[in-house]
Amino acid sequence: MGLTSGYVFAGAVAAAVGLFAATVLLWPRLAGRTWRAVTGRIGLLLSTQLALFASVGLAANNAFLFYGSWSDLLGREDDPGVVVDHSAGADRVEIVESRMAPVEGGSRADRGGRIHKVVVRGARSGIDSPAYVYLPPEYFQPEYRERSFPATVALTGYPGTAENLIKGQKYPQTAFRKAREGGMQPMVLVMLRSTVAPPRDTECVDVPGGPQAETFLGEDLPTAVSRTYRVGTAPRSWGVIGVSTGGYCALKIALHHPQRYSAGAGLSAYYRAAEDRTTGDLFQGDQSARDRADLLWSLDRLPQGRTSFLVTSSRKGEDNLAETRRFIGKVRPPARVSSIILDSGGHNFNTWAREMPPALEWMSGRLSAS
């Protein structure tokens, strides 16, 4: 059973309750001073505390999704990392697994859609990255057989795992529900980590002599997906959304690649690339590259295409409000900008759960496959 499974959490809670009850019932029998009694008391107390600690830890992880799997928790995450292919080749997607979408009617593709686990191989960047692709039910229905669909790339924060976009943030479930309610058009979702060279935080930068993360997300990814699935190839067919680091990446990719993406939504985004021990030296002393990774600098100095931006913050709880307002003030026609400013909301999954559904609706209104 997976780390985020409800059965694992229920088992830990049941163990904690059972050990607590056992401690209460057996304590009188272990009240002596013999080594057996002392060892028994110590064992019961330690076991109860460990079970309680595990229950609290699992509850916190299920709420905030710090780790998506046992291998992630143990530092043995085995998703493919960066592979440099020195032979020439085309951008492509390799489907690793196909499974039901976790929605009502998901047992049939034409009712609930499908989720493909894939590896996206980028020819320009030399990067291979795991991802999940959600195909809506309309993709499999006869009346849509000749139709292409718009696509939205969904990015995690750092570190994040792509699986959390399905289990935790529930992108496919939200897109399915909103489309069924008529709030948005059916879209293909491409879900992956914001970092394509884990455990390094690449900040979606083309690192000199290192991972070409921006090229992968800005060029390789939409090309590869469009070659594999019925997804439009024009900029108006592509959007990108993310939270935290993924939000910064989404805004940057949309800003720097208007020939590929027409919309970018940054939930709780920041506006310049982080530089710390998780990122390493991203720019190798190149100040022009560092400036370009500053979105406020880019808005002032680079041409703005026909790109739509959505930014979010809160008046209480987020620390990006001032810079979010600066970002809004720097967007110029033909670009457009929208915002979600909550009265209160911290930098956490609860806040993003309030922002993501309207953000997907916003995205849908700005994309078209025709």
Provide the mean pLDDT of the chain: 88
Residue 31: pLDDT band (50, 70, 90) is confident
Q: Is residue 330 predicted with pLDDT exceeding 50? A: yes
Average pLDDT over residues 152-171: 93
pLDDT, residue 119, reads: 94
Mean pLDDT calculated for residue range 109-125: 93
Spatial strand order in the sheet of 336-342: 92-100, 114-121, 128-135, 188-192, 151-155, 238-243, 263-267, 308-314, 336-342
Query: Is the model's pLDDT at 87 over the cut of 60?
Result: no
Span 356-368, pLDDT tens digits: 999 999 999 999 9
Tokens of 369: 């496959």
Over residues 325-338, mean pLDDT:
96
The pLDDT confidence band at residue 37, using thresholds 50, 70 and 90, is confident
Contacts with 25 (C-beta within 8 Å, 6 or more apart), sequence order: none
Q: Residue 360: enclosing H or E segment and its boundaries? A: helix 349-364
Decide if pLDDT at 30 tops 90: no
Sign of the CA dihedral running 78, 79, 84, 85 = positive
User: What share of the chain in percent tops pLDDT 70?
Assistant: 90
8 A C-beta contact, residue 98 and residue 106: no
Look at residue 106 and tell me whether its pLDDT is greater than 90.
no
What is the average pLDDT across 228-233? 95
Q: What is the DSSP string of 224-250?
A: HHHHHSSB--SGGGEEEEEETHHHHHH
Is residue 194 scored above 50 in pLDDT? yes
Q: What is the model's pLDDT at position 80?
A: 42
pLDDT, tens digit, 9 for 90 and up, residues 52-80? 888 887 777 665 455 555 555 665 544 44
pLDDT for 36:
81
Q: What is the mean pLDDT of residues 279-308?
A: 94
The pLDDT score that the predictor gives to residue 5 is: 67
> Model confidence over 251-286: pLDDT tens digits?
999 999 999 999 999 999 999 999 988 899 999 989
- Count CB neighbours of 148 within 10 A: 19
Cα 348 to chain center, whole Å? 13
Confidence of residue 1 (pLDDT cuts 50, 70, 90): low
Tokens 């990067």 belong to 127
Q: Judge whether 352 and 268 are in contact, CB under 8 Å.
A: yes
> What is the residue whose two structure tokens read 């939000």?
247
pLDDT band at 224 (very low <50, low <70, confident <90, very high): very high
Q: For the residues 86-95, what does the mean pLDDT come to? A: 67
**Nearest CA-CA partner of 149 in 260, 261, 242, 238:** 238
Does residue 226 carry a pLDDT above 80? yes
pLDDT of residue 369: 84
